[in-house]
Amino acid sequence: MLENLSRTRRNVALGIVATVVLLFAWYIRSVLNPLLLGYLLAFILQPVVRKLTDRGMKRTGAVVSVFALAFVVATVLGLGVLHQGRSLIVDVLAPKDGEGRAARSEAARGDQAADETEFELTQDESAGVDAPEEVATAKGEAAARMAAGEKPVDAHRSPESDSPSAGEAEETGVQSLQRVRDWAAKVLGDEWVPASVPSQKELVGILSEFAAENEGAVQAAGEVGARAAESIFAYIQRFFGGFLGLSTLVILVPVYAFFWLFEIERLNEYLASRFPRRQRHRLTKTFEKLGEVLSVFFRGRLLVSLLKGLFLTVALALAGVPYALLLGLGGGFLSIVPFIGGLVSFALALVVALSSHGLVYALLATGGIFAAAELLEGYVLLPRILGESLGLSDVAVLFAVTAGGAALGLFGVLVALPLAAVIKICWMEFVEPALDQFAEEESKFDAG
């Protein structure tokens, strides 16, 4: 139908259709994000699949092989990082003297059972029953049961009362806080943390006294707390909403990428066939160059991050730094963010190293390891894997990162380098020829 219109009307109609499509795409952008990210992932993996098919493998087998290898690597590394992350949390928060606490609780129960037995026999004695020998026998039996590791028998206590009492719960909470205090003292030093943790009764007394002396302040604090609770609840809702969205991305992006790998070549050919005939060859070559640069950059950047993370993992493990896999792989992939990622990963590794080593050793070990990793990345991995694929100088890289961060925040830092490479290619292909033409033209003043 549109082809029957005049050229001007047809172009206007096509512009209206394109505007409607873009507005609709913006309206459903949350649904399109996994689709576009899947296309980007397929675009990065497409050269690998093409190499396998060129060697005689069928496309289905090549795609399945690439995804199977990626799944195995991601699963193994992910499980290792998850295990060490959980161990780090447990090591910081869980008390290590649980057995001593249990023994003290059992001893207290044994003494209580013996005292209750003595009280009952004393009551019998007051009623006319002479039983001092029975009292001694009961105490001896209770002591024997405790020595054998058995729980004391209490006839007046129901099985439900075997659950931890309020005193034991208080002891558990206080010792957990004491454990956190001890860990902080190792990292920061004893002069920066309190000498001890107050008990629950002491805290209640302090808070009660403060509330009595500052009734108005307590009421105002209650109002502030209520508003804070509302804010926290809203944040939790957003967090779980974001978590569900992230989970959806993790599931859908590989699925879309899998199917895109079968259709990406036909899609690219279709899009190229819709370029204007006079500029089709030039535009096709330009977009092929853009695709090659972006594919090499993303694929190479991920490989460099993985190799750097493995180097950090091995080096930290040999240096005796705990949670080497978590810190090493985290440091490797944080290096995707130029300049900032290396500093953050070094600071995290230094804090963890301080919890098990002295300041001098922790600083020298982590500093030396991360310095060696930066040298390995800058002088070995990047030149050999990425080479000069982006064609950007060091000054251009620094400017692109700072400009991207100022414009788009952390996302701008992440996409700064590939975006700068795209801008450079577009400038060289479309703007530079016009500038050359302008510079070579003779003005009317030159002609006169």
Q: What pLDDT score was predicted for residue 99?
A: 44
302 pLDDT more than 70: yes
Least confident of 53-67, 89-103, 407-421: 89-103
Could you give the residue ranges of the DSSP H alpha helices within 274-323? 280-318
Residue at 291 is within a domain: no
**Alpha carbon distance 335, 329 (integer Å):** 10
- CA 157 from centroid of its chain's CA atoms: 48
pLDDT band at 440 (very low <50, low <70, confident <90, very high): confident
**Alpha carbon distance 413, 388 (integer Å):** 20
Closest alpha carbon to 110 in 160, 157, 172? 157
Buried b (16+ CB within 10 A) or exposed e, 380-410: ebbeebbeebbebeeeebeebbeebbeeeee
What would the pLDDT profile of 412-434 be if each residue is shown by its tens digit? 777 788 888 888 888 888 888 88
What would the pLDDT profile of 337-362 be if each residue is shown by its tens digit? 777 778 888 988 998 888 888 888 88
Six token digits for residue 352: 């963890």
pTM attached to this predicted model: 0.56
**What mean pLDDT do residues 179-196 have?**
70
Residue at 41 is within a domain: yes
Q: What pLDDT score was predicted for residue 120?
A: 52
63 pLDDT more than 60: yes
Buried b (16+ CB within 10 A) or exposed e, 255-275: ebbbebbeebeeebeeeeeee
For residue 377, give every residue at least 6 positions away whose Cβ sits within 8 Å of its Cβ, in sequence order, or none.
304, 308, 335
**Alpha carbon distance 172, 105 (integer Å):** 11
**Alpha carbon distance 366, 347 (integer Å):** 9
Gyration radius of the chain's alpha carbons: 35
Residue at 371 is within a domain: no
Six token digits for residue 330: 């985290």
Q: What pLDDT score was predicted for residue 312?
A: 92
Inter-CA distances, 339 with 50, 106, 331, 345, Å: 34, 55, 12, 11
Q: What pLDDT score was predicted for residue 235?
A: 59
Six token digits for residue 251: 């599931």
Neighbour tally for 374: CB within 10 Å: 14
Contact between residue 106 and residue 123 where contact means Cβ atoms under 8 Å apart: no
What would the pLDDT profile of 111-134 be if each residue is shown by its tens digit? 555 555 554 545 554 555 444 555
pLDDT band at 308 (very low <50, low <70, confident <90, very high): very high
**Alpha carbon distance 80, 74 (integer Å):** 10
Longest dimension (CA), the chain: 140
232 pLDDT more than 50: yes
Q: Which domain holds residue 44?
A: 33-88+177-274
257 pLDDT more than 60: yes
Domain count for the chain, please give it: 1
Collapsed DSSP state (helix, strand, coil) of residue 90:
helix
Residue at 66 is within a domain: yes
Residue at 184 is within a domain: yes
Residue at 295 is within a domain: no
Six token digits for residue 171: 């002891």
Residue at 199 is within a domain: yes
* Percent of the chain residues past pLDDT 70, beyond the cut: 67
What would the pLDDT profile of 258-268 be if each residue is shown by its tens digit? 888 888 888 88
> What is 330-388 written as a DSSP string?
HHHHHTTSTTHHHHHHHHHHHHHHHTTS-HHHHHHHHHHHHHHHHHHIIIIIIIIIITT
Mean pLDDT score of the chain? 74
What would the pLDDT profile of 81-98 be if each residue is shown by its tens digit? 788 777 777 776 554 444
Q: What pLDDT score was predicted for residue 287?
A: 85
Q: What pLDDT score was predicted for residue 441?
A: 74
Least confident of 36-50, 56-70, 294-308, 395-409: 395-409
Could you give the residue ranges of the DSSP H alpha helices within 189-276? 200-213, 215-273
Residue at 310 is within a domain: no
